[in-house]
Every structure is written in structure tokens, then in C-alpha cells.
Amino acid sequence: MMRATKQQGFTLIELLVVIFIIGVVVSAMTISLGDNQAERMKHKTKQLVALIDLAKEQAIFSSEELGMVFSKHAYSFYRLNSDNHDQDSWQQITDDQLLSERTLPDGLEYELFLEGIKVTYSNKEKVTPQVYILSDGTITPFRINITDKIDHNHSLKVAENGKFELSVSN
């Protein structure tokens, strides 16, 4: 009589099949997720376009002057407060959740260009907007890059009439 031997462990073929299946699944996940950094930059650029358009409409409908202040990692909207008869002052908009301060995710930063010249950001006590959104619908022409300083760059060019031009370089 022959005794059946009990097999323990996996054969080499079984291990190779499992490793192949795991490789296919990982490859499919990588392709489906894509480049997360590029997607975040695209989202932030579209968000900026929508908020500038909203601010322009708000300035027109409420007959008020608005401004934008950019820093390396954030931007804020400001309202011209002319209640003080001695001097006009700019106050950050805090009562409107849509026009509140926006920041970039880690690893991304803004580069602002006015009249083709790169703006250097400063930490002054008195705030003066770099970009003006006037009550007649005009906007200071500017270009802003959202970059990761490695290989992605989303550029938004805004004309005086508020027309937008987006470009992407990877």
C-alpha cells in the first residue's frame, strides 16, 4: 500500500502566479491614480480662476474695490475700506467664506508676475494688494505660476478685461 504524502508549503509556480497578479494590480492602481501633484495643481488653478471671477462679479454688483495679496503659499482677498476719511485702508475679507484666505498644499508655491516682472513677497505691516479688482470689472493684468519647483508648472494669465489663459508644462 502506498501512503499519500502530505504536501506542505507552496510550489514555485504558485508563488510566481501570486506575484504576477499583485504586480498587475499595483500597475493598474498606479495608472488609475495618475500624477497626484499635477491634479492638485490643476484643481488649485481652476479654484483660483473661479474665485477671481466671483470677486470680479462681487466688485461690480456691490460697487466696491477689491484686491488680492499673494504670498509664496497663499492668497487673500481684501476690500477697500474708505470709511476712514484720513486714509484709505485695505481689510482682509473674513465675512465671506468663499473669498477667505486660500493656501496651497505642501510642496507647491506661487510665483506672481506683474508686467512681466517677478514679485518678491514681503511681510509688511500695512497691506497693499498686488492685484486690484475694480468695481468697473477691470483687473490688474498678471500672471501666476503654481509650481512644485521640480517638474510641474501651471500658469494662469489674467488680462485686464478678466479673460483667463491657462497653460500647463510638465
Q: Is residue 23 part of a domain?
A: no
Please report, for the domain that includes residue 147, its CATH number.
Answer: 3.55.40.10
Report how far apart, in Å, the C-alpha atoms of 17 and of each of 7, 8, 11, 28 are: 19, 18, 10, 17
Looking at the structure of the chain, the number of domains it has is 1
Minimal CA–CA distance to 68: which of 118, 2, 159, 133?
Answer: 133
| Cα atoms in the Cβ-side hemisphere of radius 13 Å centred on 57 | 8
How many Cβ atoms are within 10 Å of 75's Cβ, its own excluded?
A: 20
pLDDT at 139: 93
Q: Is residue 9 part of a domain?
A: no
Q: Is residue 6 part of a domain?
A: no
Percent residues over pLDDT 90 in the chain: 34
For residue 57, what are the domain limits? 36-169
Q: Is residue 97 part of a domain?
A: yes
| Structure confidence by residue, pLDDT tens digits, 1-14 | 566 666 677 788 88
Residue linked to cell 512681466 = 116
Q: Is residue 22 part of a domain?
A: no
Q: Is residue 8 part of a domain?
A: no
Residue linked to cell 514681503 = 122
Q: Average pLDDT for residues 126-134, to the nearest whole number?
A: 89
Q: Average pLDDT for residues 111-137, to the nearest whole number?
A: 87
3-state secondary structure (DSSP) of residue 52: helix
pTM for the predicted model, two decimal places: 0.73
Q: Is residue 63 part of a domain?
A: yes
